[in-house]
Structure 1
Amino acid sequence: MTRRLFVALGLPDRVSEPLLDAMEGVPGARWQDADNLHITLRFIGEVDRHLEADIVAALSSIAFLPLEVRLSGVGHFEGAKRARAIWAAVEPNGELDLLQMRVEMACRRAGCAPVTRKFVPHVTLARLSAGSGPLESWLHANGKLAPPAWTARSFSLFESDLTPNGPIYTEIQQFP
């Protein structure tokens, strides 16, 4: 049996609520549920239970101090021919970058293949399809979106279960 895993920072309700309030106004967008809002530190993918145990052990060894995280502004990821996701931006943060690097190194030590893509911290708000409406007015209206900052005191390993209605994320373990 395998599970599809990723490592992320969860968001407190006081940060999620303003994001949820902004989630409307783009026809055809598949907006995220409150439970699915997070900052991905490392997508791992499908692993068996042995590799999962090694990942948990490696992640447990990470030491980090609580860090302040702040979201500010919105944007979108482009695919080959169209936008594919809308996100809230995470302000540049050296401590978050360091935590992400430690998570990456722990996953490699556990036996995961390296991720070579540059870390772009964000919170995915919606996934878009070819039939999704125009984004410009939404991006303009929400460009100054800035929920309150928060102190991240832990990160978590999540399972991502893909369903026809979208992914369901389940926290497996929290690492303080």
Structure 2
Amino acid sequence: MSLVESALRESAREFPPIRARVAQIGGFPSALRARVVWAGVDAEGDAIRLLAQSLRIRLQEREIAFDPKPISPHITLARVSRNGRSLGLRLPEGSKTDFGSWTLGIIRLTQSLQGREGSEYESLFEFPLTGAES
């Protein structure tokens, strides 16, 4: 088992399934010039950020580098190619709307592979969130 895999497994054992909801739509770099359209994800008790913090501690203990920027839980909905035109969307940047909720039951490491036709994603491994409810 790789060091990253064991860190992920340990963090997954620490947290129970997480109740989450899509609560915001936005664009990057901005709503008016969106190259990426995303949906922000909120979780009860800041659970996603706490899970990320747990994983970062375990990676640090194993001397594995990671991006130190604060996590921004989101779902990427659409991308515009660099050569493409603006989507012409008028996104309600920062507006809060409840789009629904679900339970996050696994943590997965996914590799992004860049190709001529865009990104492809490969799941490397995943673990169920099995920690006890508090």
**Taking structure 2 as the reference length, what is the TM-score of the superposition?**
0.74
Q: Unaligned regions of 5+ residues in structure 2, if any?
A: 129-134
Deviation at 1:145, TM superposition (A): 6.4
**Residue 121 of structure 1, aligned match among 64, 73, 76:** 73
**Is the 8 Å Cα contact of residues 35 and 79 (structure 2) preserved in structure 1?**
yes
1:46-98 superposed Cα distances (whole Å, 9 cap, x missing partner): xxxxxx8111112111111111010022101218xx54321111125411110
Q: What corresponds to 2:132 in structure 1?
A: none
Amino acid at match of 2:7: A
Q: What corresponds to 1:102 in structure 2?
A: 54
Closer, same or farther: CA 156–134 of 1 in aligned 2, 3 Å: closer
Q: What corresponds to 2:86 in structure 1?
A: 133
Deviation at 1:116, TM superposition (A): 2.1
Q: What corresponds to 2:108 in structure 1?
A: 156
| Distance in 1 separating the partners of 2:105 and 2:86 | 38
Q: What corresponds to 2:10 in structure 1?
A: 61
**Is the 8 Å Cα contact of residues 104 and 115 (structure 1) preserved in structure 2?**
no
| Distance in 1 separating the partners of 2:113 and 2:3 | 21
Aligned residue for 1:61, secondary structure, equals: helix
**Is the 8 Å Cα contact of residues 35 and 86 (structure 2) preserved in structure 1?**
no
Closer, same or farther: CA 55–84 of 1 in aligned 2, 3 Å: same
Aligned residue for 1:112, secondary structure, equals: coil
| Distance in 2 separating the partners of 1:70 and 1:76 | 18
Whose helix proportion is higher, 1 or 2?
Answer: 1
Q: Unaligned regions of 5+ residues in structure 1, if any?
A: 1-51
Closer, same or farther: CA 56–92 of 1 in aligned 2, 3 Å: closer
